[in-house]
Structure 1
Amino acid sequence: MTKLSVNINKFATLRNARGGNLPDIIQVARDCERFGADGITVHPRPDERHIRYQDVRDLKPIVTTEFNIEGYPSQDFMDLVLEVKPHQCTLVPDPPGVITSNTGWDTIQHQSFLKDVIGTLKKAGIRVSIFLNPEIDKVAGAKSAGADRIELYTGPYAEEYTKARTQPQNFRLFNDYKNTAKEASAAGLELNAGHDLNLDNLRFFKLHIPQLKEVSIGHALVCDAIYMGLENTIQLYKRQLQD
């Protein structure tokens, strides 16, 4: 079954909005695992507007599933990742002030940079995934840069999935995801996915891309948990990922 990694950034956003330590991010991570999450994802940004660098350090000894740290590989980010040594580091090409990730790497233009960064992470024993748009021509660059996995950026998929209810002829975009997934598998790269996946669109993605190893979901899952409770919500998402 495809693994579910819960991105806990939004819990930290809620904590930071009021100050103090409510909700307790450490307890949130423990509870997510207790409720069935297969991993915990965090995305510390330079302004620390949600997950803080110290949160990442504090989470490392208590995460018992898979710890995934994602972000742009600035020097500060790299220093943190090499200190904490998570199971996986997901590299995203976010500029400093972006609200949320909105595109994948150009693995051709940034080949040399990615190769250096990935090489450093892999020397430390960290599995590396890189954020990628559904573009077949970027897969070879991910492989040659040394990545172990790609994470398909599913924002455009989620948007088109919603539109396809009334305009099914416009869902041709999904072929790009399927073809990129096949190309990645042929190149020996494992496959993750993330961004705007939810209870409405996740099952379709999973059924049509059987290579999928892991999804990272935060915003939609947290929103659902407001209404349905965290334990129930995690189980509902896991049910969408069953083979």
Structure 2
Amino acid sequence: MGCCQSSSDAEAERAPLLHTESVRSPRSAAKDTAQRTGRFTARHVGVPDLNQRFMDVAETFNKQQENYNKMKENLQTIAIWYNCQTNDSLSQCLKKIKEEHDQHHISLEVKGYDFLLVVRSEAKIPEKLKRTQENMGELSKAAKAVMSVGTKLHEMIDSLLKAEENMTEQIEDAESQHQERKRLEDNLKENLRQAKRAKELSPKYRNEAGELLKEVALLSGITP
């Protein structure tokens, strides 16, 4: 970077490190999308090590969020199929599943870190029940994935936020041109803002996944 940087190069550096559907949308639309989805879009800050750290946090958080959304979607799908009054209560849905398929012996079982809907019956399993078993398997994978990165992500974000002052100094040392330095500092502020937002959202995802797993444990007969 420097005085000879072309406008196209400058535009390229303004582009997010992680490309999302909103990258080419108008700024307002991109902001609306970010507000709605909470995705972390890391931006260049002119220091390779910091770029990589922000990108690692963004990738980890976005993956956790993706799995959280899958978890919610599978719960809602099962709730819709069985007309559950609340779409986040696995207990209610399991009761409805057993009522609708009362000729089958259905149970929710935990095996290792996974849970599954087990059907023990000599009768042919209906397609709807087979799909429910598949959804329950996807629900288990998603919940486990949300939980698995929680601690690591928290540590990664905290490490970034604690080094905020040092990051500004690194950018000042790396870029002498005032206008370019100002742009990079603005990108840093945006990254830190998104990191703080991820710090708020991630525990929410983890807590919901944890509550689901506790509910599964109770439903499967596992006691603390």
Instruction: Identify the structure with the greater strand proportion.
Output: 1
TM-score under structure 1 normalisation?
Answer: 0.22
Could you say which structure has the greater relative contact order, defined with CA pairs below 8 angstroms and 6 or more residues apart? 2
Instruction: Identify the structure with the greater helix proportion.
Output: 2
Larger Rg: 2
TM-score under structure 2 normalisation?
Answer: 0.23
